A = this chain, B = another copy of it.
Amino acid sequence: MTKYGIKVLPKKEVLDSQGRAVQSVLEKAGFSLDDCHIGKYFEVKTDKGEVEIKKMAEYVLFNPLIEEITIESL
């Protein structure tokens, strides 16, 4: 049984309004940031391999048009 972490972030070309909003809130609070992106994080436990996980993620977990993923085994 392997644990996988799947990070989903908006593509660089896509306007990340949520990220910008958080960055501006943090800057007002005195935490200066150079860049801030916000996405989703999935942690799944399964006996499948990484290829299967990628197929699964493409099926339902992210939109390849506007988002990109990183899969890591934990």
Contact = CB atoms under 8 A, between A and B. Distances in A.
Interface of A: 1, 3, 5, 7-9, 22, 25-26, 29, 31-48, 52, 56, 59-61
A6 to B, nearest CB: 9
Copies of this protein in the complex: 2
Closest 10 CB pairs of A and B: A35-B45, A41-B41, A34-B45, A37-B43, A31-B56, A39-B41, A36-B44, A7-B41, A33-B46, A33-B44
Nearest to A34: B45
Contacts of A31: 46, 48, 52, 56, 59
Contacts of A29: 59-60
Contacts of A44: 33-37
A40 B32 CA distance: 21
